[in-house]
A and B are shown apart, each in its own frame.
Chain A
Amino acid sequence: MTDKKRDDVTGTETTGHSWDGIEELNTPLPRWWLWTFYATIVWGVIYTILYPAWPLVSSASAGVLGWSTRGEVAEQIAEAEAANADLRAQLIETELAAVSDDPALQNYAVQHGAAVFRTNCSQCHGQGAAGAKGYPNLLDDAWLWGGQIEEIAYTVRHGIRNEDDPDARYSQMPAYGEIFSDEEIALIVAHVQTLDDGADPMAGEAGELWANNCAACHGEDGKGNHDLGAPNLTDAIWLYGSSEEDLTYTIVNARFGVMPAWGAFLTEDEVRAVSAYVHQLGGGEDAPAAE
């Protein structure tokens, strides 16, 4: 003990290091702490061998376990899909109109469909499915091609006015700019603007024009026709706007929306799921009672 330097105040041994007369006390660490430290170093070396770690020129070392975050995500997706395999099969087998009778299946279809919608549909119809000018709002109760789930599924599967699918929905409206005179167009625009207030389409000054040109598709009552994709002109919903300017443009040029045939891009369960999702957004119509 005599060789050791001791600090006078605390009586603690010093390391012998001195800076400007300030000496360093030696308060030894426990040896197990040292060994724990060595163990972490060993652990670290093993870890860098097993897992991706060392930065190389174009990527990092892969690690002998072949683990990657991307692989882990793929694994988790596969796990989730395996977990839902039964529900997916059930969704494909079930009559679309009957999906909502089974709460578990409906829940799966809606959640699944919501994901499909956000990925594929929201670009035109919006994240909230409220659409935009020329892109139908899917939340309301007005449907060009019908709001029953089977009709929605048909629209999704085959699309609208596309060249890819022979069964695509097609609506035809002539560009009346080439048919009507300017006076007739002004007359019919004014006429259409009165329809959502309850006017009779077949009556009035433009009644004859309506009967000869519009009633074939939009109906004598003006309520449109789902089979032809002709919109209801008596309701409060206007896809392209109801101002004089908007209506004039629509009648003169005719305007059409297009939609891809999603049956070519989506799997059967995705088509069904997204139909179920759209159907429960607030405007879905019930299927007619079975006969």
Chain B
Amino acid sequence: MSDQGTETPQLYAPREPIFPRRVSGTFRRLKWWIMGVTLAIYYLTPWLRWDRGPNLPDQAVLVDLANRRFYFFWIEIWPHEFYFVAGLLVMAGLGLFLFTAALGRVWCGYACPQTVWTDLFILVERWVEGDRNARLRLHKAPWSARKWRLRLTKWTIWVAIGLATGGAWVFYFTDAPTLLRDLLTFSAHPVAYTSIGILTFTTVVFGGFMREQVCIYMCPWPRIQGAMMDEDTLTVAYREWRGEPRGKGLRRRHEAEEAAHAAEDAAVTRAAGPQLGGRSPALKMPGIPDTASGAVHHDGPGDCIDCNACVNVCPMGIDIRDGQQMACITCALCIDACDEVMEKVGKERGLIDYIALSDAPREREGQPPRSLWVHVLRARNILYTVLWAGIGLGLVFLLFIRSEIDITVGAVRNPTYVTLSDGTIRNAYDLRILNKNGDDRVYLVSPGFGANLDLEIEGHPGSTIPVPANTTGITRIYFTAPPDSPAANADRTEFRIWVEDFQSGERAFVDTTFNGKGQ
């Protein structure tokens, strides 16, 4: 380290650049697929169309903040139905709990936008500047015309991706084709340009330059996820009982001979210890006895040839052989890298693998790991699944039973009643009718059977209220009780206001109170 030999420790550490090597294998293929699908969903969704009639937008997924509407294909959510969104967020949370309890940090490793975009940015980097070694050389090389050319090319592509990312984001909030035309003719709203600018900046900085720093220092999720994993969670781990003592060539054989006599050699898995740059110190796997205690005895060298392939491919710059650590996002690329090497040297695959830590003692004694289902089908996961599915079914149920007519009645209580010339007692109500349809509707208002109240509507003769498409109509309505009728003389009379959609025949009601003179 730079302060070697000085007394003062370094309190701030420069970022150590990481140059992940290209790798291929099962998990890398899976990640390519997930990247393709998630990016395609993100970029293409705003362009999907969905016909809702002439007065409503035809964008399939649209968050219309100005008009306070959320459109999702056939579902339209108004602000008072925001609990659907809250329910979806609760489901997203529980889903994350479930996946984390069962499979560890799969969200971080495969689906998190930070991971996906970083992966994409590294892909660009590799395409422009070459693989790990070429990039390392370029990093160390002085600034030459070639280095400038490569760097500028890379940065330009990054900014283009950032622009596309921020650009796609704003399309979710307004009609995409119109906005695209406005953006290109520089006539869009400044908020659109500002949003694109900010998102372009954060995309390039987070995906291009900060990368693993975002996960380690900025994201609260790794801390939370740690609490949701237990020893039955499948997570990426190194089979140290198989791999140690590691080594290569003559040194390896020598070490192997030593190993039987000096067990502590094997205990220190990485002499250098944790690196500066804030990566957390390696923690011992729970339930696994220290190698130093002499639990492991190898007759010969371990399977790990210390080729560092797992370290070189790691986008977080850690060594999985140090054990479980906070910086590990379980992207599983080290599994691919190690399997490739194991095949080349003729050893069994899976030296680094998805392992439940509770299986470690069994494997250490030479028994096979327990079935995957033993780990997945445990009470915790089943509980999460039940909760998740329960809320999901509840939301679907609510979606089906929700009334097409939404009305609210605000009784005007200042004053509670008005006496008219002929002694009639009148109460006023503000009736809100939400017309969620794509066409204008007319609603018939009436008091419930037996109320003996008469209806008047402010500004209209008759008892119908027209409400334009996709709006909330607020109308002052009056109910009157003739002089000396029971309702006029009573203190309070409960009654029901019915509203019927003329076109569909659907009805809805609200129970409210009529205030009389209280005699």
What CA separation (Å) do A214 and B5 show in the bound complex?
Answer: 114
A sample of 17 inter-chain contacts (CB < 8 A) reads A3-B7, A11-B281, A12-B273, A12-B281, A28-B11, A29-B11, A30-B13, A30-B15, A30-B278, A31-B14, A31-B15, A32-B210, A33-B12, A127-B414, A128-B412, A236-B420, A280-B476
- On whether the beta carbons of A141 and B421 are closer than 8 Å, the reply is yes
What CA separation (Å) do A280 and B5 show in the bound complex?
Answer: 87
Asked whether B217 is an interface residue with its Cβ less than 8 Å from the other chain, the reply is: yes
Instruction: Give which listed residue, A3, A29, A232, A280, contacts B13 with CB less than 8 A.
Output: A29
- What string of 1s and 0s marks CB contacts (under 8 Å) between A7-32 and chain B? 00011111110000000001111111
- B442 nearest CB across to chain A (Å): 15
Closest 4 pairs (CB-CB, A-B): A128-B414, A235-B421, A130-B415, A236-B423
Known: A12-B273, A141-B421. A126 touches B11 (CB 8 A): no
What CA separation (Å) do A34 and B11 show in the bound complex?
Answer: 10
Asked whether A81 is an interface residue with its Cβ less than 8 Å from the other chain, the reply is: no
What CA separation (Å) do A214 and B488 show in the bound complex?
Answer: 32
Known: A11-B281, A139-B418, A236-B421. A32 touches B5 (CB 8 A): no
- On whether the beta carbons of B420 and A29 are closer than 8 Å, the reply is no
Asked whether A140 is an interface residue with its Cβ less than 8 Å from the other chain, the reply is: yes
Asked whether A237 is an interface residue with its Cβ less than 8 Å from the other chain, the reply is: yes
- On whether the beta carbons of B414 and A130 are closer than 8 Å, the reply is yes
- B292 nearest CB across to chain A (Å): 13
Asked whether B463 is an interface residue with its Cβ less than 8 Å from the other chain, the reply is: no
Residues of A within 8 A of B277 (CB): 28, 30
- On whether the beta carbons of B421 and A237 are closer than 8 Å, the reply is yes
Q: Summarize B's interface: helix, strand, loop or mixed.
A: loop
Asked whether B168 is an interface residue with its Cβ less than 8 Å from the other chain, the reply is: no
- On whether the beta carbons of B11 and A139 are closer than 8 Å, the reply is no
- On whether the beta carbons of A16 and B276 are closer than 8 Å, the reply is no
What CA separation (Å) do A32 and B458 show in the bound complex?
Answer: 65
- On whether the beta carbons of B418 and A32 are closer than 8 Å, the reply is no
Q: Which of A209-243 contact B (CB under 8 A)?
A: 232, 235-237
Asked whether B1 is an interface residue with its Cβ less than 8 Å from the other chain, the reply is: yes
What CA separation (Å) do A30 and B412 show in the bound complex?
Answer: 61
Chain B residue, CB-CB nearest to A139: B418
- What string of 1s and 0s marks CB contacts (under 8 Å) between B416-453 and chain A? 00111111001010000000000000000000000000
- On whether the beta carbons of B13 and A236 are closer than 8 Å, the reply is no
- B368 nearest CB across to chain A (Å): 33
Q: How many A-B residue pairs have CB under 8 A?
A: 106
Chain B residues within 8 Å of A, Cβ to Cβ? 1, 4-7, 9-15, 210, 213, 217, 273-274, 276-278, 281, 412, 414-415, 418-423, 426, 428, 458-459, 476, 478, 483
- On whether the beta carbons of A28 and B13 are closer than 8 Å, the reply is yes
What CA separation (Å) do A272 and B337 show in the bound complex?
Answer: 81
Residues of A within 8 A of B217 (CB): 30, 33
Asked whether A1 is an interface residue with its Cβ less than 8 Å from the other chain, the reply is: yes
- On whether the beta carbons of A236 and B483 are closer than 8 Å, the reply is yes
Beyond A29-B11, A141-B420, A282-B418, 5 additional pairs, beta carbon < 8 A? A29-B12, A31-B12, A128-B415, A235-B421, A282-B478
Chain A residue, CB-CB nearest to B468: A103
Asked whether A70 is an interface residue with its Cβ less than 8 Å from the other chain, the reply is: no
Residues of B within 8 A of A10 (CB): 274, 281
Chain A residues within 8 Å of B, Cβ to Cβ? 1, 3-4, 6, 10-16, 26-34, 100, 106, 126-128, 130, 137, 139-142, 196, 232, 235-237, 280, 282-283
- On whether the beta carbons of B414 and A31 are closer than 8 Å, the reply is no
Residues of B within 8 A of A126 (CB): 414-415
Residues of A within 8 A of B420 (CB): 140-142, 236-237, 283
What CA separation (Å) do A54 and B174 show in the bound complex?
Answer: 41
Residues of B within 8 A of A32 (CB): 15, 210, 213
What CA separation (Å) do A235 and B9 show in the bound complex?
Answer: 95
Q: Summarize A's interface: helix, strand, loop or mixed.
A: loop
- On whether the beta carbons of A16 and B423 are closer than 8 Å, the reply is no
Residues of B within 8 A of A106 (CB): 459
Residues of A within 8 A of B412 (CB): 128
- On whether the beta carbons of A236 and B422 are closer than 8 Å, the reply is yes
- A146 nearest CB across to chain B (Å): 14
- On whether the beta carbons of A30 and B213 are closer than 8 Å, the reply is yes
Instruction: Give which listed residue, A12, A16, A100, contacts B7 with CB less than 8 A.
Output: A16
What CA separation (Å) do A139 and B418 show in the bound complex?
Answer: 7
- On whether the beta carbons of B7 and A27 are closer than 8 Å, the reply is no
- On whether the beta carbons of B7 and A130 are closer than 8 Å, the reply is no
What CA separation (Å) do A235 and B420 show in the bound complex?
Answer: 8
What CA separation (Å) do A141 and B426 show in the bound complex?
Answer: 11
What CA separation (Å) do A191 and B476 show in the bound complex?
Answer: 39
Instruction: Give which listed residue, B9, B278, B415, B418, contacts A29 with CB less than 8 A.
Output: B278
Residues of B within 8 A of A237 (CB): 419-421
Residues of A within 8 A of B459 (CB): 100, 106, 280
Residues of B within 8 A of A283 (CB): 420
Known: A12-B274, A12-B281. A137 touches B418 (CB 8 A): yes
Known: A3-B6, A3-B7. A28 touches B421 (CB 8 A): no
- A112 nearest CB across to chain B (Å): 16
Residues of A within 8 A of B4 (CB): 1, 3
Known: A30-B15, A30-B213. A282 touches B458 (CB 8 A): yes
Chain B residue, CB-CB nearest to A137: B418
What CA separation (Å) do A282 and B415 show in the bound complex?
Answer: 12
Residues of A within 8 A of B11 (CB): 15, 26, 28-29
- B265 nearest CB across to chain A (Å): 16
Residues of B within 8 A of A142 (CB): 420-421
What CA separation (Å) do A127 and B12 show in the bound complex?
Answer: 64
- B432 nearest CB across to chain A (Å): 15
- B190 nearest CB across to chain A (Å): 16
What CA separation (Å) do A283 and B458 show in the bound complex?
Answer: 10
Chain A residue, CB-CB nearest to B268: A11
Taking each of A12, A15, A282, which has the highest tally of chain B beta carbons within 10 Å of its own beta carbon? A282
- A136 nearest CB across to chain B (Å): 12
Residues of B within 8 A of A33 (CB): 12, 217
What CA separation (Å) do A100 and B459 show in the bound complex?
Answer: 8
- A16 nearest CB across to chain B (Å): 7
Instruction: Give which listed residue, A16, A137, A140, contacts B9 with CB less than 8 A.
Output: A16
Residues of A within 8 A of B418 (CB): 130, 137, 139-140, 282
Residues of A within 8 A of B10 (CB): 26, 28
What CA separation (Å) do A6 and B459 show in the bound complex?
Answer: 84
What CA separation (Å) do A283 and B422 show in the bound complex?
Answer: 13
- A127 nearest CB across to chain B (Å): 6
Taking each of A27, A106, A127, which has the highest tally of chain B beta carbons within 10 Å of its own beta carbon? A27
- On whether the beta carbons of A11 and B274 are closer than 8 Å, the reply is yes
- On whether the beta carbons of B478 and A34 are closer than 8 Å, the reply is no
What CA separation (Å) do A131 and B13 show in the bound complex?
Answer: 74
